[in-house]
Structure 1
């Protein structure tokens, strides 16, 4: 499977919105917008982030086209990572390959990532890439409407 990263295009947004509002994916990610189906909130989020020079955002393509997105951004002085993969492609190595490619694009370290405790697949992707679990905290998961244990991972090199 070949993975490539490219600029996120307007034409990608309909598919990303569909994935980001999929109930199964929202349950796994947990930390989403309060109403993941709200298209205007989705559009505002992506417009803001695509126009922010501090955000590095890429579309993830595999051999069959758009497979997800991956990005980094700064919050409270920490560089953080986020990604979203088509639920139909989970468990096929897309996230791992996209993260490996993205780590060549994003030079800043340390790099942090946050994962809901129940999202063991995403945690495994991070560990395989060299991230180390450094903290856990209870955070409000707007997408689920309740508090969830969130694990924090860090990559130093």
Structure 2
């Protein structure tokens, strides 16, 4: 059965605005999203402090993902221990609609640094598909080093070595 949610929305990236942080809080508090990311939810104060810190650091690339005029999530890239990393978080209502793939494609246009690394837990098949569609290659796997209560979660590292 086909519905309005099946259509591919128009996606754009913009700077993070104050009201976006509330939406980011709701997205990261979704129990299914927490399970998919294997990353624990934070309280409102923690989320607000995290985003205030990110937004004040000009060395980071952080953007709000907007799909058909609605805040759909966030995406960013940052240096970490000599590597350039990327991450994204998409609200569940936008899963499976091409939003993450479009957002990552836009980020790759804005962030020319290569290689670019992405860490993803092995059970997050949707995110793995996004990375592969955008040209990332699986580099290695190991036990995730995440602030999660669960141990033994497998993490994959994907790398984009050249311009897409």
TM-score under structure 1 normalisation?
0.93
Q: Distance in 1 between matches of 2:153 and 2:113?
A: 28
Cα contact 1:27–1:143 (8 A) shared by 2 = no
The answer to whether the Cα contact below 8 Å between 2:67 and 2:99 also exists between their aligned partners in 1 is yes
Q: Which runs of 5+ in 2 are unaligned?
A: 1-8
1:51, 1:17 → 2: CA distance? 18
What's the CA shift for 1:64?
A: 4.0
Structure 2 residue aligned with 1:124, among 113, 122, 129?
129
Is 1:26–1:143's contact at 8 Å kept on the other side of the alignment?
no
Q: Which runs of 4+ in 1 moved over 4 A?
A: none
- 1:123-142 deviation digits (Å, cap 9, x = unpaired): 01000100000011102432
Give the whole-Å Cα distance in 2 for the aligned partners of 1:42 and 1:23: 16
Deviations 1:25-60 (A, max 9, x none): 000011x3x4x1422221221111111122100101
Q: Answer yes or no: is 1:87 the counterpart of 2:92.
A: yes
Q: Could you tell me whether the CA contact under 8 Å between 2:121 and 2:144 is conserved in 1?
A: no
For residues 102-124 of structure 1, give each alpha carbon's deviation from its aligned partner in whole angstroms, at most 9, with x where no partner exists.
11011111000010000011001
What corresponds to 1:8 in structure 2? 16
The aligned counterpart of 1:38 is: 43
3-state SS, counterpart of residue 147 of structure 1: coil
Q: Distance in 1 between matches of 2:86 and 2:152?
A: 21
| Structural RMSD (CA) | 1.2
With structure 2 as the length reference, what TM-score do the two structures score? 0.89
Q: Higher relative CO (CA 8 A, sep ≥ 6), structure 1 or 2?
A: 1
Residue ranges of structure 1 left out of the alignment (5+ in a row): none
